[in-house]
Amino acid sequence: MVVIETKVTRDRTLRLKIIDSCGMTCIFCHNEGTPVTSDNLKSNNGKWIKHGRSGRTSIYVENNKVTFLPAMIMPDEDFRVNLQKLQKVFQFKEVHLTGGEPTLHPYLSDLVKMIKSLGLSVAMTSNGENGMKCIPSASKEGLEKINFSVFGTTGEELLMVQNTACRDSDWGEKKIDSLKKSIACAIENKVKVSTNIVIVDQTHINRIHNLLNNYPPEISVRIMRSLENRQEATKAIKELFEKLGAKLVSHQITAGVSDERHEYELENGRRVWFKQLRHVRLPETCKDCIYNNEEDCHEGFYGIRMYKDHIGGYQIGVCIQRMDFCQPLDQFIESNQAKEIVNFQKSEYDRIKMEYKGREVHCPLNLKPKLLK
Q: What does R_g of the chain's alpha carbons equal in angstroms?
A: 20
Distances (CA, A) of 24 to 47, 106, 126, 158: 23, 18, 11, 10
Number of H-type helices and E-type strands within the chain: 9, 13
Q: Residue 366's pLDDT is what?
A: 60
pTM: 0.90
Give residue-wise pLDDT tens across range 198-247: 888 888 888 888 888 888 777 888 988 877 777 888 888 888 888 888 98
Confidence of residue 369 (pLDDT cuts 50, 70, 90): very low
Cα–Cα distance, 156 to 154 (Å, whole number): 5
Domain boundaries, the chain: 6-23+67-355
Q: Does domain 6-23+67-355 have CATH number 3.40.1350?
A: no
Give residue-wise pLDDT tens across range 280-323: 999 999 999 999 998 899 999 999 999 999 999 999 999 999 99
Backbone angles phi, psi at 131, to 5 degrees: -65, -35
Question: What is the chain's mean pLDDT, rounded?
Answer: 90
